[in-house]
Homo-oligomer: A and B are copies of this chain.
Amino acid sequence: MHKLLTFFYLLTLSCWSQNPIQSSLNLMPWPQEVQENEQQFTVTPNLTIAINGPSGMRVPHTATSFLRRLSNRSGVFINEGFPAPFSNDSTASITVNFKTIAALSIETDESYNLQVTANGISINATTDVGAIRGLETLLQLLENDATSYYFVGVNITDAPRFVWRGLMIDVSRHFHSVDVIKRNLRAMASVKMNVFHWHLTDDQGFRVESKTYPKLHTVASDGLYYTHEQIKDVVAYANKLGIRVIPEFDVPGHATAILTAYPELGSKPDASYTIERFSGVFNPTLNPIIEDTYTFLENLFTEIAPLFPDAYFHIGGDENAGKHWNENEAIQQFKADNNLATNHDLQTYFNIRLEKILNKLGKHLVGWDEIMTPNMPKTAVIHSWRGENEGLQKGGTLIEAAQKGYKTILSNGFYIDRMESVIKHYQTEPIGTISLSAEEEACILGGEVTMWSELVTSLTIDSRIWPRTAAIAERLWSNKTVTDVNHMLKRLQVINYNLEAVGITHLRNKAVVLRNLTNNQNIDALKTLTNICEPLKIYSRNEGGTEYKTYSPFTLFADACTADAMDALQFNHLVKHFLADKNEATSAEIKILLTRWADQYELFSKLEKNPKLTPLEPLSLNLSQVSATLLNLLNGKKVPKKTLKECKKQITLLKQPFADTELMIVNNLELLFEALK
């Protein structure tokens, strides 16, 4: 614990501190109003929960799960394993009061008040969804000393800033079973997220059983798809957690899987297709000028829509370059005949027809921001994803959509598959300083984290989603003024570990990958490396060197590494601080890290080698030598010129990627070296 405290002490000296939060509570997302009262409610075997509200599934489910998690974390053998109905002579420890069972929508009231005193705990909410949000806050108030666990005394009044706080999971590039989805739904609920966007189809697989078009799942899924029963199960489970489920059927592009099953719907005459195995943007596209396409989509959506009770339905609509449209004479003729100047206009024609189909089914159309063309009806929801990488302004399409009167949600800035730091995502403020009218601002529903799955399997997906998504959940729930990065990072460490209790596998599966890497030898050296290396960012892992297919091994070193490599974050701040003031205490902290890195090669070198380890040898060795040299310099020892020259070379060498990862400390190793040599 000592190390962590020092670490955060140092971070507070950095430039990030804005609107600092003084409280030591580990709440995330941070509530709108928090008052502490210096009391505690102690957890004993006699703890009980009473439910005071109309009967429904959500509160009993979450209260039962609350009791299990409380018992598991505290070790207290709670006598009553289930909540009880409220009665007037109730002496329950925790009373959960609410007035109505909510129908989930963008109108759902999620507000609650939570009071904890030494004598009892009460949650008051208008709806059962607000009540379960309050129970999650309460569990985050659990703390302990040597002799007991207790809830910290507070009075919290809370409600979300945005109504749409989502996580998208792509199950096409890699399939993820119902259990993987459910554990992520539990984790979402634990940080008060309320939309699960299920990216169900793409070039690499169609993941839904279709009774109308069975080739979609028999031919285009490799046998990996959800049955209708499984979808109903997931939707019902999400509903119990107060989470809406939005399906996405990505058309007219990203359609290779659909066309593998039904090639006659493609834009390339007489083509045949096979399920895509690589990552990227591909040309297979539905043919927008034949009625069969619309018949197909109407029948399919008519079959599928009832599985998803939510009012919104996502049709993708992204990344259609239109190559196969350009090559198809009939399509070009159709454009000319219908005054559709560009492929964009043609796609708008397609989208408008889809919107009508969905309207008949009682659904609002949602699409990625390419659908925002001049003729697109204002009933569509614009999903803003493009930004600086695509030559647009950061989050620009969100503001543009709002100003044009579209409802809109933000994902630009929340692409966690890019493997960037949580700090960057946390600082993605949807509206920022732009001045919007009340009506325009009301159009901005919220945002969604996007977990594209080209480079993740079920073994690693949790370590990509979490914990960064918890910080984004805060961005979407908490007040705009909650921007204290240091405080967020401190709280995130606790939340990160608590995610294990709902079944998230991000921490435990790291060791699985490292055991695989070593064939079950001592993994300590590799653990040290994973704490300073991060997977190559922004899709560069898939460029140049290795090109990954869907069935490539995702059990390698890069898969054990994550964004925000813990020791790197610490080291980089220490070095910045040390270079400024040459503080002795900071130097001592740096030496601890350098010693760890200097020593790791001895352990690494003892491993029986295998081809998976080979690419890490130069990383381990050179890091060890550079660290040893820097230690000598820091300790004021005389270092031979030859060694210094060698060290410079070694640092240069360490700047290259190793096994699809980058060493996140290399620049500060170099700065330290330049300052000390």
A144, A507, A520: which has the most chain B beta carbons within 10 Å?
A520
| Interface mask (A20-47 → B, CB under 8 Å = 1, otherwise 0) | 0000000000000000000000000000
A342 within 8 A of B: no
Proximity bits, A64-104, B CB within 8 Å = 1, else 0? 00011001111111100110000000000000000000000
The interface-forming segment of A317-325, A392-400, A547-555 is A547-555
Q: Which residues of A (475-520) have their CB < 8 Å from a CB of B?
A: 494, 497, 500-501, 505, 507-509, 511-512, 515-516, 519-520
Name the contact of A77 in the complex, choosing from B82, B520, B552 (C-beta under 8 A): B552
Majority-rule SS of A interface residues: loop
How far, in Å, is A118 (CB) from chain B's closest CB?
A: 19
Residue of B nearest to A659 (CB): B75
Q: How large is the interface on A (under 10, 10 to 19, 20 to 34, 35 or more residues)?
A: 35 or more
Distance of A493 from chain B, by nearest CB (Å): 8
Which residues of chain A (515-559) have a CB below 8 Å from chain B?
Answer: 515-516, 519-521, 546, 549-556
Copies in the complex: 2
Separation of A57 and B68 alpha carbons in the complex (Å):
40
Instruction: Tell me whether A1 and B73 are in contact (CB under 8 A).
Output: no
Of A131-139, A426-434, A609-617, which binds chain B?
A609-617
A494–B515 Cα distance when bound, in Å, is: 12
Q: Which residues of B contact A614 (CB under 8 A)?
A: 146-147
Query: Quick one: which of A592-635 are within 8 Å of B by CB?
Result: 608-612, 614
- Docked pose: A508 CA to B523 CA in angstroms: 13
Closest-CB distance, A212 to chain B (whole angstroms): 19
Does residue A177 face the partner (Cβ distance < 8 Å to B)?
Answer: yes
Decide if A277 is an interface residue (CB 8 Å cutoff): yes
Contact B72 A553 (CB under 8 A): yes
Question: What residues on B are CB-neighbors of A67 within 8 Å?
Answer: 551
Q: What is the CB-to-nearest-CB distance from A457 to chain B, in angstroms, rounded to a whole number?
A: 9
- Expressed in whole angstroms, the Cα–Cα distance for A67 and B553 within the complex equals 10
Which residues in A have some Cβ–Cβ distance to B below 8 Å? 1, 61, 67-68, 71-78, 81-82, 144-149, 177-179, 222-223, 227, 229-230, 233, 277, 494, 497, 500-501, 505, 507-509, 511-512, 515-516, 519-521, 546, 549-556, 608-612, 614
Q: Which 4 A-B pairs have the closest CB atoms?
A: A81-B551, A179-B179, A146-B609, A508-B508
